[in-house]
Each structure stands twice: as C-alpha cells, then as structure tokens.
Amino acid sequence: MPSVSSSHKTNEVAVSVRGLGLTYTTAIDRRPTLKARVKSLGRGGKQTRVIRALDEVNLDVEYGQVLGIIGTNGAGKSSLMRVISGILPPTQGRIEVYGSVSTLLALGVGFNPSMSGRDNVYLGGLAAGMSRDEIDNHFEEIAEFSELGEAIDAPMRTYSSGMYARLAFSVSATVRPDILIVDEALSTGDARFKEKSLNRIKELRSDDRALILVSHAMATLEEVCNDVAWLHKGKLVQRGDPKTVITAYREFLQVGKSAAIDEDV
C-alpha cells in the first residue's frame, strides 16, 4: 500500500483542533463601479463584511475513528476540512496533525480534460501526492475499479460526467494516508458505483487510520462512522454516538426520518 508511514496506534490523537476560529472578509460593493472605487479610496478602504465561518471549534480525532461531519449548508464543514488539511490558515486557534493527510475535497483535482484517462490517472495521482512508481503499481487496480474499459485511453473531455467522477474517485481511493479527509465525494456515478465506493471507504477503515467524512447522506454516515460531529453556523453543536447525534440533527431539521435525507448525498 502506498504512503504508509510509521504505524499509529488506536486511540492515539490524529488531529487536534483547539479554539479554532476562521473568518472571511468579503467586499460588499454591490455594483463594483469605478466611481464607487474612487469614492471609497477617499474614505480609505472598501466596505467589507466579516463572515465568521468557524467559531471556537474544539475537536479531537483519534486513530481508529471514523468521524462523520454533518450540518446544514454553510455550517462550516468544508472550511473545517480545509483548515485541517492546511489549505486555509486559521484566524484563531491551533491545529496539530499527527500523520500524513490526504484530502478528497473535490473530484478530479489536477485533471486535464484534453488528456486521456490514462494520463489523468498519473496527473491526479501525482497531485494527490503519490509517486510515479506507486501509480504504476496500482494502475491496473485503478482502471479496473473505474470500470472504464477501453475508454481509459480516450480524452477525458469525451467522458460523461459519471465516467469522469468514477475515474476521479478511483484515483483518490488508491491513496493510503494516515488521515483521510473526504468531502461529499461518495456520491459518484450510479447506484451500483455508489455502493462500490461506499464499500471502498469501509475497506479503508482500520485501527491505524483516521477517516473524516463530510456528507449529507445520514444513512451512510450511520452505517460507516463510529463518531459524528454536528456543526451549525460555525459552532460545534454536538459530538458523539452517530445515532444520537443524527437523531438530534434530524429533529433540529424537523424533517424526521424521510427518504430524502437518507438517500440524498
């Protein structure tokens, strides 16, 4: 397996988040005209609005844990993932990461649509931090998992969106980091491929790995995770046993256990 670093024991801390705060500053020029710019120059600076994406979040993730993150749109889930993976700097607080992190925040990062699927396996794999040898060794596995057949040598812009997503998921699922962060990427392809990728995530669960999954698919999270954290408007509302937290979240949403929230991804 690629990227296996020193082994980590269960219950050792993988990620420690302390007092994390994150604010974005956005300009609120409704109509960015030159006149408005000139006027604001005189006043000194543009009018801005500060958005608090994360507020005093404390969160520990241990090895062996599969943590699901839930919350409504704009709750700060993706921001939290980006801060943990080192993409966004925090505004306050401190994050410590013990181990190699791989992120699956969006599918097909680093892909170039003009190139063939084969070339993109290399591009995407290298972007995800694999070495060329590792990709060579896993190429057959990736190609097979994506079920693309001969289309692997066709340019990716000729792919359907399902084919594109399948190949992207297959590449990402080959990386074997200590800590894997997945943001709503389980919803690729048709029902059969969804099942397949869910099984792949389950395979990745192990005692010496920490998984953090962001998803709106409650049924999936209940099935896969052994811990769930609920974020709302940048604050950590509740954390603990998946059933309890998800039930509380459902009550909060007042939607009950409807089919839409279970199946939606």
DSSP states along 74-124 = TSSHHHHHHHHTTSS--SEEEEEE-S-EEEESSTTTT--TTSBHHHHHHHH
Binder among 36, 46, 74, 109 for other proteins (CB under 8 A): 109
Stretch that binds other proteins, among 129-137, 163-171, 241-249, 250-258 (CB under 8 A): 129-137
Pick 103 or 215: Cβ nearer other proteins: 103
Binder among 40, 74, 105, 118 for other proteins (CB under 8 A): 105
Radius of gyration of the chain (CA): 20
Binder among 57, 65, 67, 103 for other proteins (CB under 8 A): 103
* 77: nearest Cα among 108, 53, 103: 53
The amino acid sitting at 233 is K
Q: Phi/psi class of residue 225: alpha, beta or left (left: φ > 0; alpha: ψ in -120 to 50)?
A: beta
Question: Nearest approach, Cβ of 256 to other proteins (angstroms)?
Answer: 34
Is residue 154 involved in binding other proteins (CB under 8 A)? no
- State the binding string over 60-89 for other proteins (x if CB under 8 A, else -): ----------------------xxxxxxxx
Instruction: Return the bridge partners of 116, or none.
Output: 155
What residues line the site for other proteins (CB under 8 A)?
12-13, 16, 24, 82-101, 103, 105-106, 109-110, 112, 114-115, 119, 122-123, 126-129, 131-132
